[in-house]
Structure 1
Amino acid sequence: MNMSRTTITIKQAKDQLVLAAKQYFSKDACGAYRLDRRRARPICLMGPAGLGKTEVVRQVAEEQGLGFVSYSITHHTRQSLLGLPQLREVQLGGETVTATRYTMSEIITDIWQEMERTGRKEGILFLDEFNAAAASLHPVMLQLLQNKALGQHAIPDGWMLVVAGNPSDSNRSAERLDAVTADRLRMLRLRPDLAAWKEYMMPRGIHPLVLAYLECYSEDLHQLGTEDGVVTIVTPRAWEDLSLQLYFYEQEGAAVGETVIGQVIQNEAVAKRFWLHYKKKEQALYRKTASQLEQGLPLNQQWERLRALQKQDVWALTAFLADRIQRMCRQAAEEEQALETLHGVLQEALGSGDCVAYLRGLSGEHPSSTWTFVQSYLEQVEEDPSGDGLRTAYQTGPLARRGALVDRACAMLEHTIDFCRRCYPEQPQMEYLVESIARDKTCQSIVSLRETPLFTAAGRELYVRKPKTPARKAV
């Protein structure tokens, strides 16, 4: 088996990037880097467009506390990479001669500016579309890999080089790396992976019907084909963009037609297949089920209909319910944030000795919810020397409303977990539901405020069933 051709997911690539960064920036007892810069092979992420290569490198830099500078090689000429030539008089062998010197490369300049801006002396320089560089830049790229320099200027010590490229079948201007260039790189060959993409998208709120479609047509996560002699491509990035577009159109009440989908999913067959899936959605059933679960009502009337749903419709329903829970948690979190701001204002009012006078003279920028509460309070109270009226208004108004929103979200979560466990036992939808909430930081902050035994038990079962794989075994 040719191990150099083994492919990995973007999640596994991130694990390898983290390990590479730790190796690259490791220091000895004297504070010197253990790895000589000339021996530090740059990592090359080679994979189809739209997998999230740039984003994953950015994430690693941020999580490791590193600076980050990103460039696309195709946007550069020889002059912008090497700097502009200048003629200068220099002394050579006792004679004054005119020699060519170069200004600092735009990329090297940006690295120094990033260090000044962030105060981070270590970082990652990411160069995208590395194998699509013009032929005139090939010697420059080879020098960069070998000497970590662009022309006469070296990449600052403490900066790690990561490059990325696309296979030639998905990028007409891309070329296969020659053996000499490849021998100076650590190659990570990436493949599209639905599980890794879901893990990335869950906290961002993927549209339920996009998820349901891809669970049934996972091969469409990334599609490369030709239509009328023109190369067409569908990427994970396109599905993320479509998810955002569907949410916006639905919020605005705008019609979603096949042409709208085709604007993003630019493969006619895939766009049509998704459109048929979207058009036959049972949104009325989804909404009714979600409403009854939210109210804690039995689902007796539609139970058999729910049990008889096709696989892709079960996925769509589960994703729809997860999205409803996430929205409820976000609403509660927004109320929580507004409450903190209001609480600070009211604390100052209570400490002033005259709540009414203080709030009447309130100025500055405050959220609309703060002004609404203050206006309502002042309309009902003329004097409040003890502040009891203000405390009561706060406790019975915003504080109680926040508590009710948290209660609703957590109750909806528990009812949904119970429903999935009884209606679709031993099916992967429960795993998706639990992970979509567990990986959402906003949901976690709200769910942690209440007891949710069913969710906790389901999460524990999932963790036992799916132990984590060590990063070094991923490749």
Structure 2
Amino acid sequence: MITPAIGTQELYKHLELLIQSDTPVFIHGSPGIGKSYIVNDIAQKHNFEIRDIRLSQLDAVDLRGIPSIENSQTKWMPPVFLPDDENSEGILFLDELNSAPLSVQAAIYQLVLDRKIGEYSLPKGWRIICAGNKIDDKGIVFKLPSPLINRMVHIVLEAKYDDFKVWAIQNNIHSYIIGFLGFRPDLLSSEMPSATEANPAFATPRAWNMLSNILDISHDASAIAPIIYGTVGYGAGIEFSSFVQVYKTLPNIDAILEGQSEQVPEEPSALYALCAALIEKYKKDEHGENIFTYAKKLPVEFNVMLIKDLIVKDESIAELESFEEWLEKYENFIL
């Protein structure tokens, strides 16, 4: 039986519960879908310290520490990356656990279950979160020993476009990418290419984020085609490059936001691109009422999508008079 996967928004909720109950958890997920980002984000929101330990780079002796002689007895000196302040609070993030050597995994047993390793004890205010790639992700992954498996809650994380879109809008991801993935959400993540393919790149949320940073500097996608292919893979890159050409056919975005244009594209690809471009340039104080006037001219599904996404960008849009009128008419579409 396949374990159901969850998205990032659901993972946030579950991690909050597991942190409160002090229950160790292992997050399974493909590379580049945000495992490390989410753990670091939760730590920041709680004002926790975080120790990010990449276990695949350690030996078992690195965890227990170096022995020294004290009063004619051997004493193990714990490594500096393990917290030692009894009054501190934080998250001990054990990343790449299932890529670590078996000797390291065995050394983690006691730390996960008893919060100890050798003579070292984890301070009470610290929580343990582990993460690693899935076995079928073509990476270096070892099956976890059953005693270690049974010491943690296991959650499978999956990249889901709706979750990525919320994050993308809030973090100013380039409109080309938001528009394209709205049109082709299945390309948010793609399978890793085989070892025989010349281009090893593949699409992930992390790869799209990298491409967004590149596009912020070079808006001419046609001039950086090799970089696009080398970031998200050839197949997704070809489709993305073709989609970007749609932006050249759009009505004037500034004119729409200023209430001076009523043009509406007919092609779905152009409508996705249009909505993404409107969201990127929208400013409540300047365009608040005009955006609702224009939204009425869009097909219902794009009308609703546009306003919902604008709420993600700026919740204060709900304070406008036009929003109440819009909500009364379309509330059944947003439940």
Q: TM-score under structure 2 normalisation?
A: 0.88
Query: Secondary structure of the residue that 1:126 maps to in structure 2?
Result: strand
Q: Pick the aligned partner of 2:206 from 228, 232, 237.
A: 237
Residue 289 (structure 2) pairs with residue 414 (structure 1): yes
The equivalences for 1:311-330 within 5 A come to 311-325=268-282, 329=283
Displacement after TM superposition at 1:227 (Å): 4.3
Match of 2:235 in 1: 269
Residue 91 (structure 2) pairs with residue 124 (structure 1): yes
Contact in 1 for aligned 2:258/2:290 (Cα 8 Å): no
Q: Pick the aligned partner of 2:114 from 140, 147, 160.
A: 147
Residue 36 (structure 2) pairs with residue 57 (structure 1): no
Displacement after TM superposition at 1:458 (Å): 3.7
> What is the distance in 2 between the residues matched to 1:191 and 1:275?
25
Q: Which amino acid aligns with 1:435?
A: K
Query: Secondary structure of the residue that 1:50 maps to in structure 2?
Result: coil
Match of 1:294 in 2: 257
Match of 2:248 in 1: 283
Give deviations 1:265-302, integer Å, cap 9, x for gaps.
1x222222212222x2233534x2x2222332242xxx
Q: Are residues 459 and 242 of structure 1, via their aligned partners in 2, closer, same or farther at CA, if it must alter by over 3 Å? A: farther
Displacement after TM superposition at 1:186 (Å): 0.2
Displacement after TM superposition at 1:76 (Å): 2.4
More helix by share: 1
Identical-residue share of aligned pairs (%): 20
> What is the distance in 2 between the residues matched to 1:240 and 1:154?
38
Q: Which amino acid aligns with 2:276?
A: A
Displacement after TM superposition at 1:128 (Å): 1.1
Q: Which amino acid aligns with 1:316?
A: A
Contact in 2 for aligned 1:124/1:159 (Cα 8 Å): yes
Query: Secondary structure of the residue that 1:233 maps to in structure 2?
Result: coil
Structure 1 stretches of 4+ with a deviation exceeding 4 A read 459-467
> What is the distance in 1 between the residues matched to 2:325 and 2:208?
32
Displacement after TM superposition at 1:209 (Å): 1.9
Contact in 2 for aligned 1:131/1:165 (Cα 8 Å): yes
Match of 1:102 in 2: 76
Contact in 1 for aligned 2:95/2:131 (Cα 8 Å): yes
Give deviations 1:78-124, integer Å, cap 9, x for gaps.
3332211223443xxxxxxxx4321122222xx236x8xxxx73222
Q: Are residues 220 and 307 of structure 1, via their aligned partners in 2, closer, same or farther at CA, if it must alter by over 3 Å? A: closer
Give deviations 1:4-54, integer Å, cap 9, x for gaps.
712111211110011122223xxxxxxxxxxxxxxxx41111111111112
Match of 2:84 in 1: 112
Gaps of 5+ in 1: 25-40, 91-98, 330-408, 468-475
Gaps of 5+ in 2: none
Match of 1:164 in 2: 131
> What is the distance in 2 between the residues matched to 1:10 and 1:274?
24
> What is the distance in 2 between the residues matched to 1:298 and 1:105?
64
Q: Are residues 462 and 102 of structure 1, via their aligned partners in 2, closer, same or farther at CA, if it must alter by over 3 Å? A: farther
Displacement after TM superposition at 1:417 (Å): 2.5
Q: How many residues align?
A: 333
Q: Pick the aligned partner of 2:14 from 16, 29, 39.
A: 16
Q: Which amino acid aligns with 1:413?
A: G
> What is the distance in 1 between the residues matched to 2:330 and 2:69?
68
Q: Pick the aligned partner of 1:220 from 172, 187, 199.
A: 187
Q: Are residues 307 and 233 of structure 1, via their aligned partners in 2, closer, same or farther at CA, if it must alter by over 3 Å? A: closer
Q: Which amino acid aligns with 2:231?
A: V
> What is the distance in 2 between the residues matched to 1:431 and 1:62?
33
> What is the distance in 1 between the residues matched to 2:137 and 2:328?
42
Q: What is the CA RMSD across the aligned residues, in angstroms?
A: 2.6
Match of 1:396 in 2: none
Contact in 2 for aligned 1:81/1:106 (Cα 8 Å): no
> What is the distance in 2 between the residues matched to 1:135 and 1:23?
28
Contact in 1 for aligned 2:137/2:192 (Cα 8 Å): no
Give deviations 1:436-467, integer Å, cap 9, x for gaps.
33233xx456x58xx62223444576666545
Match of 2:215 in 1: 246
Displacement after TM superposition at 1:419 (Å): 1.3
Contact in 2 for aligned 1:80/1:106 (Cα 8 Å): no
Match of 1:72 in 2: 54
Choose 1 or 2 for highest CA Rg: 1
> What is the distance in 2 between the residues matched to 1:255 and 1:276?
9
